[in-house]
Amino acid sequence: MTHGSVTSLVSAMVIATAATLGTAALAQDEPFRAAIVMPGNITDQSWNQTGYEGITRAEQELGIEVAYSEQVAQPDQLEALSDYARRGYDVVIGHGGEFVDAVQRAAERHPETLFVVTNGFVSGENVASLTFNFKQFGYVIGFIAANMSEGETAGYLSAQKIKVATDLEEGFKEGFASIHPEAEILVAYTNDWDDVAKAKEAALNLVNQGADVIFPLLDNGQIGALQAAQEQDVWSFGVWQDVYEAWPDTVLQSAVMDFRIALVDFLEMARNGDAEGQVYELAIGTDAGTLGEYNPAIPEDVVAETEALIQRLNGGELQL
Amino acid sequence: MIETLLRWTYRLKSVWAVMLALLLGALLIVLAGYDPIAAYRELFSGAFLDYWGVSATIAKVSPLLLAGLAVALPLRVGLFNIGAEGQIYMGGLFASLVALNLPEMPALPGILLCAGAGMVGGCLWALIPALLKAYRDLNEVIVTLLLNYVAINLVSYAVSGPMLAEGAPYPYSEEIRPSLFLPIIMPRTDAHLGAAIAVLLAMLIFVMLRYTATGYAMRTIGSNPHAARYAGMSVRRHIIGAMVIGGALAGLAGAFEILGLKHRLFHLFSAGYGYDGIVVAFLAAGNPLASVLAATFLAGLESGANTMQRAVGVPVTVISAVKGLIVIFVAASLAFSFQRSAWAAVLRRRRETEAALGEVRRGRRHA
Amino acid sequence: MSDSHLVLENLCKSFGPVRANSNVTIHVARGTVHAILGENGAGKTTLMNMLYGLLQPDSGRIILNGREVRIDSPRRALELGIGMVHQHFMLVGPLTVTENIILGMSGQALTLNQGAHRARLRELSEAFGFEVEPGMEASRLPIGMQQRVEILKCLYRDADLIILDEPTSVLTPQETRTFFDVLRRLKAANKTILFITHKLEEVMNLSDRVTVMRAGTVTNELETATTNPGELARLMVGREVIFNIGSREGRRGGRLLSLQDVTATGERGNRALDGLSLDVHEGEIVGVAGVDGNGQAELAEVIAGLRPYTSGSVCLDGEELAPYSISERVGRLRIGYVPEDRQRTGLVLDQGVAANMMLRAHDRPPFTRFGRLLDFGAIRRNARALVERYQIRASSIEQPVRHLSGGNQQKIILAREIEAGPRLLVVAQPCKGLDVGAIEFVQNTLLEQRNRGMGVLYISTELEHILAICDRLVVMFRGRITGSLLPQEASSERIGRLMAGMTEEAA
């Protein structure tokens, strides 16, 4: 799947902001080395595990040398990134938006190393960000939701108003409005990504206010939100992974954004000396970022329209 | 002769404890499939031996020492401040609020204002359990512990709502302006001035406890509150005072993390320093000067362990186990006293025998 | 001896260079009460610990029931029928009396048959008139009852020789009387009692024979009937103790302290002081007698400022004391206070002699300078001078006072309170647990200060001590004064009536 996906990755770049002046000079004769610094545990079956699996896949598929640090607390971020740079790693990745500052400061101290932050939005001479065009995903989900809804009320649920959450929210609203411009989109932020009970309560609350379809973006809390949707018999969506099989009577579709594939593709590009200090924003309709399985409840014509929509977004015909 | 030797052996007990813990830790590392010698080389160089290691250690001394003092001082009046973590968060919150809203001004007064705000934040957070303890006799352990969660959630709310930076990918605030950054004491590293200020404060508190009437009153209250009241000391005032000063120190730790290291208020910005502070205070037996040593030791252990993970790839769980072993062994060794040891008993008996023999010899001479 | 229960022959025990016991020989006859009398540090406790298997003698023999025995543990002592009741009881608070008594007994089945034990204990308790309820929780029993539980514990294990270490030191006077009855019953049941004490009157009241010890040796062993307190005191301290030393110099001055209708609340919310009125003049020692627990402790605390009074007035030189803090009463008003509980209140045991010597003046000159900085030079000079003047035996002025004897601890408090130059000194139970020599020192010191014009309020439950030094005597009962009289008018019947609450108009 990932072979030759560099081209698709490059084609998927929608925006390449800021300085693309100098390509990070990478030595060719020595083995290519990459390291990733993660905030949590590599067995969390979630964000950190994604980073760990991404780098180990890169090791196997690309034959590069890799290293990782897990459970790196906030005060240790900068030192961890810098230390890898001092040890001669060519690419050092901070896994998660909270690394934005640390990556920028480490990059100033170590100009010879390319620093990357996943879910980030910054770029510089030797700073790159690897992220998805969350708005597009939100838009497509909103489009499907609107087609399956009575068209009066829908719900959006997340934990904290960070960039990924607000982008998805915006996209969802626009996508929904493209079918039902008058509809009301209820929004709730719980301040807790993992609290299952809290998520369920918030989702039930949205349903009680009239939402007949909800789009939750949470970590462990996702389960609670989906449970609520199932109990109340309203439609819902998955995010990051395809969860249709686990929730066939509730989940319409999933926004699958796979950082493992994105990481491997990026590292292959970096090894080939093609990676630059810019924001790599992956569009919908790529290997890494796509939709999952359609729920059979969705009418054929809606599926076809959705696929066409993805094509237009990917091709840049539709700008958000 | 033998006794002096044994005494020295005892005096170095912490060293033996560390070695024993390292030996056990080596076993764990071997079992995990890594080279213990390489791992330990990295542990020590990552802690104390190279420029970068030293800088990483110094960067951690600031929060660890201040949090340690925040626990140690209330400990002297007999209070357990489990709430340094929450006080750190409140300190960070207050310092950030002031830093982000301060009108343009020169660096020094700006930094002082922000640090002062951090201390006020920690103070207020410690004042709650102090007042409840002094006037309602509520257990300060429970109150401080619970307030930690309140503080962490308050910060979390602030940075994901009202203080959230525009377009932030993680719950954090806007960056404070560079004129408010604490000066770096080792170029190209994170080692900021906070550690030096923390050491100065430790010395100040040592002097206060040892050489002033207030310090004497605090120590007296800690060892016998009845006698302290009889001596005319205000037990309430000193309990509140010790707790509030402790809170201010923890608040300062939080302010320094923002001003010196993170430059923004982050969700979950303290890595449990408030709880590490409890370890520091206990290793140092509440002594402020010994706290400097204990905090440096713990800071070195932390940063060395991080290096060990990066350089040798030892899994973090094994490293946590080794760290835990070292702390437990050192703490246990500090509980040993030479006077109570079996060795000392043997030596005492020998001395008695010799004294008796001496008497016999002298008796013979006289006879 | 024909029916010797226990014979100790030439027992010796040294701790390093210190000879705690040297050639101690004692004969204890069966079914008698045998007292071991001596000052603190005379070696009594060492001797008893050897007997109970806690220490091993260096030389000498222990002969029990005519056979030489080796006692290497308390368990062995119990097997031999020797039981011991320590000065501080060894009961486990939350357990019941029965559970405490059968705790650690050998020969227990895996399941405890508590019912049977309880029944047998009740029987035993009734036989000796102990009035102990086996089902009660130990921590809820009064002190005197706890002591009886300890004795019951010995009896239940079939001990026929019971050692009692300073048994009355923790008892109230009423409890002491009950305790004496208990001993008589034990004796009637042909048990042998060996009790350690430094109180002359107990020896005279209770014992059949008495062994007097001084400095690790036995000075004499005699029949109680053939001796008198004066002789015993002489044997114990090596000289006659003069009890009536109230030589009067100087004159009683103006009224210093005046209490009018004072009420105050006690620890348990009770009305501890209930309309109490009292005067103390300059150059006068006023003794406060009474059965313990009738408000004496609260009276002292009210004057010292540790306890607020709820109504009435407390005046020094006509000025109301209420607005003054504890510290102001010490520093500005110069009220000294020697508290009853010296270890809990009067001293900080973990601190050194020097620190304790400045405890109540730690925040003012001469012990501070430049505001609140401690002046260690002044603190040390003060401590050295006081240690010398009061002949306090400590290895250095930095030695923690925890390691000093009770007498030396009390001297530190007295030295501190008296040398602060108070106008009024409140003294509560200053001689509790002290040996004869130390008592004499305390009383002489107080008299000396009285002669210099100090007013002293001397609170004690030991009538002899009060009579020995006071110029005037008041008796307290349930928070009020039932009578005021001069020592020479104080017959024991009259005081007894006042202590029991029978007021009389005449003073």
Residues B353 and B209 in one domain: no
B241 and B94, same structural domain?
Answer: yes
Same domain, B305 and B325: no
Q: What is the pLDDT of residue B318?
A: 85
**DSSP result, C280-346:** EETTEEEEEE--TTSSHHHHHHHHHTSS--SEEEEEETTEE-TT--HHHHHHTS-EEEE-S-IIIII
A134-257+290-315 folds as Rossmann fold (3.40.50)
pLDDT at A1: 37
- Identity at B66, one-letter amino acid code: L
User: Hunting for tokens 């008497």 — which residue is that?
Assistant: B359
Of the partner residues A71, A119, A161, the one whose CB lies closest to the CB of residue B160? A161
Residue B263's region, left for phi above 0, alpha for psi from -120 to 50, else beta, is: left
- Residue B52 is assigned to a structural domain of this protein: no
Identify the residue among C335, C348, C376, C403 best suited for mutation to test binding to B, counting B beta carbons within 10 A and taking the highest.
Answer: C348
Q: What is the pLDDT of residue B354?
A: 64
Q: How far apart are CA A146 and CA A183, in angstroms?
A: 9
Inform me whether the pLDDT recorded for A272 exceeds 70: yes
Q: Do chains C and A touch (3 or more CB pairs under 8 A)?
A: no
> Which pLDDT score is estimated for B60?
95
Cα–Cα distance between C414 and B175 in angstroms, integer?
Answer: 64
The CATH number that domain C255-499 falls under is: 3.40.50.300
ipTM beyond cut 0.95: no
Output the six-digit token pair for B352. Answer: 């008695």
CB count within 10 Å of CB A18 equals 15
User: Domain limits at B325?
Assistant: 1-34+314-362
* Cβ contact B223–C304 (<8 Å): no
Distance, in Å, from the CA atom of B77 to the CA atom of B80, rounded to the nearest integer, reads: 9
Number of neighbours of residue C224 by Cβ within 10 angstroms: 19
Confirm whether B355 is domain-assigned. yes
Phi, psi of C18, rounded to the nearest 5 degrees: -90, 125
**With an 8 Å Cβ cutoff, are A160 and B169 in contact?**
no
Cβ-based neighbour number of residue B7 at 10 Å: 14
The C-alpha atoms of residue A72 and residue A51 are separated, in whole angstroms, by 13
Q: How far is CA B215 from the centre of its chain?
A: 20
Q: Is the pLDDT of residue A23 over 70?
A: no
One-letter amino acid for residue A289 of the chain: G
Alpha-carbon distances of B149 from A160, B89, C85, C290, C304, rounded to whole Å:
18, 10, 52, 56, 44
Taking CB atoms and an 8 Å cutoff, what residues of chain B touch C363? 213, 217, 232
Nearest to B310 among A69, A120, A189 (CB): A69
Q: Which CATH number fits domain C4-237: 3.90.600.10, 3.40.50.720, 3.30.565.10, 3.40.50.300?
A: 3.40.50.300
Lowest mean pLDDT among B16-25, B266-275, C99-108, C355-364: C99-108
If one counts the domains in chain B, the total is 2
- Residue B337: inside a domain: yes
Taking contacts as CB-CB distances below 8 angstroms, the residues of chain B near A87 are 310-311
In chain B, which residues have their Cβ closer than 8 Å to the Cβ of A79?
52, 56, 59, 190, 303, 306
What residue spans in chain A does CATH classification 3.40.50.2300 cover? 5-133+258-282, 134-257+290-315
Same-domain check for residues B206 and B354: no
Q: Which of A4-8, A90-94, A120-124, A289-293 has the lowest mean pLDDT?
A: A4-8
pLDDT reported for residue C165: 86
Cβ pair B169:A189 closer than 8 A:
no
Q: Are the C-beta atoms of C52 and C87 separated by less than 8 Å?
A: no
Sign of the CA dihedral running B29, B31, B34, B37: positive
**Could you tell me the end-to-end alpha-carbon distance of chain C, in angstroms, rounded to an integer?**
55
Weakest-pLDDT range from A125-134, B183-192, B261-270, C403-412: C403-412
Q: Is the pLDDT of residue A283 over 70?
A: yes
Average pLDDT over residues B230-249: 95
pLDDT of residue A27: 44
Q: Which residues contact B92 (CB under 8 A, 6 or more apart)?
A: B118, B121, B155, B254, B255, B257, B258, B265, B269, B270
Q: Where are the alpha helices (DSSP H) in C52-113?
A: 74-79, 97-102
Q: Indicate if the pLDDT at residue A18 is higher than 60.
A: no
Q: What is the DSSP letter of A66?
A: E
Q: Are B53 and B304 in contact (CB under 8 A)?
A: yes
How far, in Å, CA of B267 to CA of B156, rounded?
Answer: 5
Burial tier of B179 (Cβ tally within 10 Å: 0-12, 13-18, 19+): middle
Residue of B212, B214, B224 lying closest to C348 (CB–CB): B224
Tell me A123's DSSP state.
-
Interface test with B, best of C363, C368, C369, C375 (most B CBs within 10 A): C363
* Confidence category of residue A176, pLDDT binned at 50, 70, 90: very high
| Of B63, B170, B313, Cβ closest to residue A67 | B313
Tokens describing residue C413: 């408090």
Angle between helices C406-419 and C376-389 (to 10 degrees): 120
Q: What is the C-alpha to C-alpha distance for residues C30 and C314, in angstroms, rounded to an integer?
A: 57
Q: Is residue B46 part of a domain?
A: no
Taking the CA of residue A54 and the nearest CA in chain B, the distance in Å comes to: 17
Whether B224 sits inside 8 A of C362 (CB atoms) is no
Quote the tokens at residue B356. Answer: 């008796």
Helices (H) and strands (E) in chain A, counts: 10, 12
Cα–Cα distance measured from residue C386 to residue C379, given in angstroms and rounded to the nearest whole number: 11
Closest by Cα among A227, A179, A187 to A204: A227
User: Chain B interface, mutation test: which of A87, A113, A162, most B Cβ atoms within 10 Å?
Assistant: A162
Parallel/antiparallel/unpaired status of strands C255-265 and C271-281: antiparallel
Q: Which one, of A13, A264, A257, A8, lies nearest residue A119 by Cα?
A: A257
Q: Over range A167-191, report the average pLDDT.
A: 95
Across the beta sheet with C217-223, the strand order is C82-85, C161-165, C192-197, C33-38, C209-214, C217-223
Give the B-side interface with A, CB within 8 Å.
52, 56, 59-60, 63, 153, 156-157, 160-161, 164, 167-172, 175, 188, 190, 257, 261-264, 266-273, 302-303, 306-307, 309-311, 313, 316
pLDDT in tens, B27-84: 999 998 999 999 998 888 888 888 999 999 999 999 999 999 999 999 999 899 999 9
Considering only residues A161 and C166, tell me which one the structure prediction assigns the higher pLDDT. A161
- Cβ contacts of A83 on chain B, cutoff 8 Å: 52, 306-307, 310
From CA A288, how far away is CA A132, in angstroms rounded? 9
Residue B173 phi/psi, 5° resolution?
-90, 180
What the block records as the tokens of A20 is 């693309």
The answer on B156 and B294 residing in a single domain is yes
Q: Tell whether A169 lies on the interface with B, counting CB pairs under 8 A.
A: no
| B315-331 per-position pLDDT tens digit | 888 888 888 888 888 88
Cβ–Cβ of B160/A191 closer than 8 Å? yes
pLDDT in tens, B191-203: 999 999 999 999 9
Q: How far is Cα of residue A148 from the mean position of the Cα atoms in its chain?
A: 25
- The per-residue pLDDT for A16 is 37
Closest by CA to B152, choosing from B167, B171, B169, B133, is B171
Q: What is the CATH number of the domain that holds B212?
A: 1.10.3470.10
| Three-state secondary structure readout of C105-118 | CCCCCCCCCHHHHH
C4-237 and C255-499: same fold? Answer: yes
Chain C CB contacts of B230 below 8 Å: 304, 306, 326, 337, 339, 345-346, 359-360
Q: How far is A84 from A82, CA to CA, in rounded Å?
A: 5
- Which residues on B lie below 8 Å from A160 (Cβ)? 156, 160, 164, 171, 267
* Residue B39 domain-assigned (yes or no): no
Cβ distance of B227 and C348 shorter than 8 Å: yes
- Cβ-contact A242, A230 below 8 angstroms: no
- The two tokens of residue C501 are 């609450």
The mean pLDDT of chain B is 89
Stretch B2-28: mean pLDDT: 83
What would be the CATH architecture of the domain defined by A5-133+258-282?
3-Layer(aba) Sandwich (3.40)
pLDDT score of A252 more than 70: yes
Strand A114-118 vs strand A289-291: parallel, antiparallel, or unpaired? unpaired
Q: CB B262 to CB A101 under 8 A?
A: yes
Query: Which tokens is B301 given?
Result: 């252990």
Residue numbers of B between 315 and 354 with CB closer than 8 Å to C = 348, 351-352
B202/B324 same-domain check: no
d(CA A209, CA B101): 38
Give me the pLDDT at residue A228, please.
Answer: 95
Cis? peptide before C57, omega within 30° of 0 = no
Point out the least confidently predicted range of A270-279, B279-288, C39-48, C361-370: C39-48
Mean pLDDT computed over every residue of chain A: 89
Interface test with B, best of A65, A83, A105, A134 (most B CBs within 10 A): A83
For chain C, 507 residues long, the average pLDDT of each consecutive 10-residue run is: 79 78 90 85 82 88 90 87 83 82 68 77 82 81 81 86 83 77 87 85 86 85 84 66 52 89 85 93 91 86 94 93 93 93 90 94 89 92 93 88 86 92 93 78 89 92 80 90 84 72 57
Asked whether the beta carbons of residue A98 and residue B60 sit closer than 8 angstroms, the reply is no
- Residue B41 Cα, gap to closest chain A Cα (Å): 15
**β pairing state of A127-132 and C82-85:** unpaired
